Amino acid sequence: MSAVYNKLGNIYVSLGDPNRALVYYEKALKILRESDSVEYVSDLSVCYIGLGDLYVSLDDLNRAREYHEKALKISEKLQQGAPDSTEYARGVSLSYNRLSDLYVRLDDPNRALEYCEKALKISEKLRLDALDSAEYARDLSVRYEKLSDLYVGLVDPNRALEYCEKALKIREELLRRIPDSAEYARNLSVSYIKLGDLYVSLDDLDRALEYYEKALKISEKLRLGAPDSAEYARDLSVGYEKLSDLYVGLVDPNRALEYCEKALEIRKELLRSVPGSAEYAKMLFVSYSRLGDLYVSLDDLDRALEYHEKALKISEELRQRDLNSAEYASNLSVSYIKLGGLYVSLDDLDRALEHCEKALKIDEELRQRYPDSAKYASDLVFSFYTMAMFHKENGADEQEQGYWKRFLTAISPQKKSSHAKEKECWKRCHYALLDMMSSGMSLDPPLVGLLQDLSGKFSDKAYFNRLLRNGSSSRRKR
């Protein structure tokens, strides 16, 4: 009976009904805790995994970690009792993988890396012991892909590239074995997309274009073969979006617009097919926001406003659906910031200030809720910077000075890190400090030292030295 309750819990999770899922998982848990047979112990691990996944979906990451750690403890105990069991070894590997994913969500990349490497070690051994197993080959490609993603987050593109290419090699081999496999074709397209992303980060846009086009070719073929598949439609929209972003980098806004509009049409269609889907609504939000940015770059501010307001409407609706969702709150903040900047360009300063203040309020709330998050620290720093620059442009010296002080308070406890999110935070700090010095503000010696350090990392050091020399006699005290 416990197995039935577990399956019902899984079904209600997939249907987006976590409360009903929780009822069935707890019924399964009650039965399983009363038995100590090996079979029931294994089922108990499955139940803990279900509960862990459920709490991840509810954004209760500490409860999720509690259950995934319980599942891991059982899996390790089962493997110790039967060290030759590939089933138990694979179970341990999957638990490591889940904990790695969880620590990514918890902004702890080093712990995520630790668990991912443990999972990889098991997957490599399983593959070596059964070279003909497609399942173990596929699992190993996933481990390589996860490690690649982690090294992207840790700003180590060369290691990321190394693991991404290992995943690619396995996936090409699997597709050669079974050329008609839609699953293997889709996995290969994912590797092409990730390699494209890596070459973008390495500023090799021609190689990136090559891999994005390979991915797009597969996605278009899969969509033609299964036109009713929402999954393939979604993948195709991502392929179009990647090419759109790439053509922005190649300074070809018209091609960028072409691909962005193709992605938009697919996402509209997907949301029409499932009107209540939060996932499709989020994807449509992204398309509207990117189109707004593109029209800003084309100096068509009216069209930009149209698309950014559509993005705002979706982000507000999603926030109302789940007021506890950090992701929805962050997306809403992004919409407010973008509209604030647009209203500045349209000389509607009252509307601009209104939107920037709304963004700031959300960013302060997220920073308070997640004090260890590099992303939300960076977002709050950027909001203070935006408000300071807004008041600077409008000659409101007192308000500008107040936001610069809040900006400095926000960056002072930060520690420089190689993590990608914190690196972005420090880039923003660098730009802000340069703006402060160029406008004549007096910086304390520790901040001058910080700016010098950041200038060496992110820009031409000569520009900083020139500012330091020229600013020493012309700075105005505030």
Tally of CB atoms within 10 A around 398: 8
Of 46-60, 161-175, 182-196, 417-431, least confident by mean pLDDT is 417-431
| pLDDT at res. 345 | 92
Output the six-digit token pair for 452.
Answer: 């010098």
Q: Specify whether the CB–CB gap between 253 and 298 falls below 8 A.
A: yes
Q: Which residue has the higher pLDDT, 206 or 26?
A: 206
Of 137-146, 206-215, 443-452, least confident by mean pLDDT is 443-452
Q: What is the mean pLDDT of residues 52-80?
A: 91
Identify the band that residue 455 occupies on the pLDDT scale cut at 50, 70 and 90: low
Output the six-digit token pair for 365.
Answer: 């709330």
- CA distance linking residue 65 with residue 211, whole number of Å: 36
pLDDT tens-place string over residues 397-419: 788 888 878 887 777 655 444 44
Q: Could you give the percent of the chain with pLDDT greater than 70? A: 86
- CA distance linking residue 341 with residue 346, whole number of Å: 9
Inform me whether the pLDDT recorded for 423 exceeds 80: no
Cβ partners under 8 Å of residue 399, min gap 6? 387, 391
| Cα-based distances in Å from 253 to 294, 298, 346, 354 | 7, 7, 21, 30
Inform me whether the pLDDT recorded for 281 exceeds 90: yes
CB-based burial of residue 378 (10 Å sphere; 0-12 exposed, 13-18 middle, 19+ buried)? buried
Which string of DSSP letters, residue by residue, matches 177-216?
HSTT-HHHHHHHHHHHHHHHHHHHHTT-HHHHHHHHHHHH
- CA distance linking residue 378 with residue 337, whole number of Å: 14
| pLDDT at res. 172 | 97
Which of 319, 359, 318, 353 has the alpha carbon at shortest distance from 337?
Answer: 359
- CA distance linking residue 108 with residue 90, whole number of Å: 24
Identify the band that residue 213 occupies on the pLDDT scale cut at 50, 70 and 90: very high
Q: Specify whether the CB–CB gap between 349 and 394 falls below 8 A.
A: yes
Identify the band that residue 424 occupies on the pLDDT scale cut at 50, 70 and 90: low
SS3 category, 31: helix
Of 258-262, 346-350, 354-358, 445-449, least confident by mean pLDDT is 445-449
- CA distance linking residue 340 with residue 303, whole number of Å: 15
| Cα-based distances in Å from 266 to 135, 141, 225, 241, 258 | 32, 29, 16, 11, 13
Q: Specify whether the CB–CB gap between 414 and 378 falls below 8 A.
A: no
- CA distance linking residue 428 with residue 436, whole number of Å: 12
Inform me whether the pLDDT recorded for 463 exceeds 50: no
| pLDDT at res. 256 | 96
Q: Position of tokens 């880039």?
A: 427
User: Would you mind telling me the total number of residues written for the chain in this entry?
Assistant: 478
Q: Position of tokens 């997640």?
A: 370
Which string of DSSP letters, residue by residue, matches 418-463?
SSHHHHHHHHHHHHHHHHHHHTTPPPPHHHHHHHHHHHHHHS-HHH
Q: Could you give the percent of the chain with pLDDT greater than 90? A: 60
Which of 127, 230, 153, 138 has the alpha carbon at shortest distance from 190?
Answer: 138
Identify the band that residue 442 occupies on the pLDDT scale cut at 50, 70 and 90: low
Q: What is the mean pLDDT of residues 164-177?
A: 97
| pLDDT at res. 385 | 82
| pLDDT at res. 466 | 45
Q: What is the mean pLDDT of residues 80-86?
A: 91
User: In the chain, count of helices (H) and strands (E)?
Assistant: 21, 0
Identify the band that residue 446 occupies on the pLDDT scale cut at 50, 70 and 90: low
Of 255-269, 279-293, 377-391, 397-411, least confident by mean pLDDT is 397-411
Sign of CA dihedral 286, 291, 296, 302: negative
CB-based burial of residue 213 (10 Å sphere; 0-12 exposed, 13-18 middle, 19+ buried)? middle
Residue 20: in which H helix or E strand, if any? helix 18-32
Output the six-digit token pair for 41.
Answer: 């112990």
Tally of CB atoms within 10 A around 110: 10
Q: Specify whether the CB–CB gap between 294 and 260 falls below 8 A.
A: yes
Of 135-144, 151-160, 343-352, 453-462, least confident by mean pLDDT is 453-462
Name the average pLDDT for the chain: 86
Inform me whether the pLDDT recorded for 291 exceeds 70: yes
Inform me whether the pLDDT recorded for 475 exceeds 60: no
- pTM for this model (two decimals): 0.80
Inform me whether the pLDDT recorded for 356 exceeds 60: yes
